[in-house]
Amino acid sequence: MNKYLVALSVGGLMETPEITYEKFDVIDAENQSEAVKKYNKKYNCSFYYGTCMAEKVGGKINILNEKVSLKDVERLGSL
């Protein structure tokens, strides 16, 4: 099983056009789609949804979103 750093994608509306990310969590899953599905279920997402920010596959960390901070990515490295 792989580890994914998933965060809630917030914004993209007329009143808040900039998209930001919050509620970072590490999710164990087989792929990115499953990780997002588990995240959305865990946090009962119904308006804003999770986005994969980084993944740890086979011991290698891959950054999937340029807006993720190194501090948040380090959460994958310590696992």
Ramachandran quadrant class, 48 (left: phi over 0; alpha: psi -120 to 50; beta: rest): beta
pLDDT on residue 35? 98
pLDDT on residue 8? 97
Asked if the model's pLDDT at residue 79 lies above 70, the reply is no
Contact 40, 54 (CB under 8 A): no
Asked if the model's pLDDT at residue 7 lies above 70, the reply is yes
pLDDT digits (tens, 9 = 90+) for 9-43: 999 888 889 999 999 999 999 999 999 999 999 99
pLDDT on residue 43? 97
CA 49, 55, 58: angle at the middle one, nearest 5?
A: 150
Kindly report the number of other CB atoms within 10 A of residue 32's CB atom: 17
Residues 52-77 have a mean pLDDT of: 91
